[in-house]
Amino acid sequence: DTSQLPPAARSLPPLLPPLRNPSSPDLPPPPNITVTPEKTEYLIGDAVSIRCVAPWSKERMQGFQFSGTSGWAVDVRTAKRSYTYRFNITGPKDGGSHACTYTVINQFRRPVRSQESKFIILSVKDHPPQPTLALNSSTGVTIEGQPLVFLCTAPAGDAERRFHFYKKKVEVTNWAKLTSGYAEAQLQVAKSSQNDTGNFTCGYDEKTEGRWIPSYPSQAVEVLVKEPASAPRLGVEPPSGVVSEDRPLRLTCVASRDDFRLRFGFYRNGAKIPPGQAGSKTRNAGNSSELLFPQSPRSFSGKFSCEVEEEVGGTWVPSPQSEAVDVTVKARSQLIPLVAGCAAGAATLLLGLLLVVCFCRRRRGGVHWKGLHNKDDPSAYPMAYVNSSIS
């Protein structure tokens, strides 16, 4: 699998597996192997040359084979008796033991591979450890127009460092403000937009022996920039908006979403209603808030509205205010005369009806009393007079 080979090795043509001569069990002697430069520890980016030299023999050379304990191997076809394989150190995987062999064509015109050379060991210094990346919003969710602040922190160390920030593995170079030191760097975006949504990482280069060695990248931080909240909706009870001053008035403000921590404000004629005014009580539940006046204050008529604020990264961001609702509070003095007048009118009407009924009943009965005066005793009046009057 050539995908596991160093870049230089992948471009070299492979050889057919060599065949051993069954009549000659002894293999050709091992080649001599050397490495340049010789270092106790190699850095990422170092250029390394491994030279393999086959001893002189009558057999014709076919090529060399190089291999490493990390799993890579390469065959080189050449008629020369030496070959130098070059590559750049890209990481710890290029370290470990390395060896080479060579292949010759024997007298039977069969390829025979030599004994393996001695091992050379390359010790490679690893990448600097990964930094940590933090965002000013603990949830990674913010609102368009709010600032974004990224903080990239490297492990403690005295080496000189330079930091980089990446969005979707592409370095960010067009953002507003970058402040950096040896231990950490901060990237600030004054006003975020929805285009800033994505996964972010950071890394740093550490100066070692005059060379900048890149660190491992940080863990990714996901950023989601949402559009600003729309205006809340204000409801009033009674729905007509007309209430007596001794009756309760209830205002309910409903936010358009509950993605963040919320707080509510109620307004009358553009001025914010302070908590507890006129004995009012507030109750919050989910994405709504209720303001209740047990007894509507006198002269409290006006245009009412509400506002919602969202806590984003430690900052309270207000939404637009709701549409205004008209509320009319009627005083009790305007209602009492009306009620009293209605009651008096009803009583007069009832009395008149009773008088008419009595009068009609007397007319239909036809009874006439004679001979009685104001002070006469009706019990002494002769019944004959009564009968004669009826007849």
Q: How confident is residue 139, by pLDDT bands cut at 50, 70 and 90?
A: confident
49 and 89 in a single domain? The answer is: yes
Note whether residue 127 is domain-resident: no
Domain boundary among 68, 96, 122: 122
Note whether residue 368 is domain-resident: yes
Residue 129 pLDDT > 70 = yes
Q: What pLDDT sits at residue 349?
A: 66
Residue 20 pLDDT > 50 = no
Q: What pLDDT sits at residue 79?
A: 95
80 and 153 in a single domain? The answer is: no
199 and 303 in a single domain? The answer is: no
For residues 177-187, give the mean pLDDT.
80
Domain boundary among 94, 122, 150: 122
Number of independent structural domains in the chain: 4
Q: What SS3 class is residue 388?
A: helix
Note whether residue 360 is domain-resident: yes
89 and 173 in a single domain? The answer is: no
Note whether residue 10 is domain-resident: yes
112 and 144 in a single domain? The answer is: no
Note whether residue 384 is domain-resident: yes
CA 189 – CA 291 distance, rounded (Å): 38
244-255 pLDDT, tens digit each: 988 999 999 999
Mean pLDDT over the full length of the chain: 83
306 and 343 in a single domain? The answer is: no
Residue 386 pLDDT > 70 = no
Q: What pLDDT sits at residue 175?
A: 65
248 and 210 in a single domain? The answer is: no
DSSP for 296-363, please give it: PPTT--EEEEEEEEEEETTEEEEPPPPPPEEEEEE-GGGTHHHHHHHHHHHHHHHHHHHHHHHHHHHH
7 and 118 in a single domain? The answer is: yes
254-308 pLDDT, tens digit each: 999 998 999 999 999 999 999 988 889 999 998 999 999 998 887 889 999 999 9
Range of the domain at 348: 336-390
149 and 212 in a single domain? The answer is: yes
191 and 139 in a single domain? The answer is: yes
Structure tokens at 133: 């990346």
14 and 67 in a single domain? The answer is: yes
Query: How many Cβ atoms are within 10 Å of 174's Cβ, its own excluded?
Result: 5
Structure tokens at 60: 């014709």
Q: How confident is residue 388, by pLDDT bands cut at 50, 70 and 90?
A: very low
Domain boundary among 122, 142, 162: 122
328 and 345 in a single domain? The answer is: no
CATH number at residue 197: 2.60.40.10
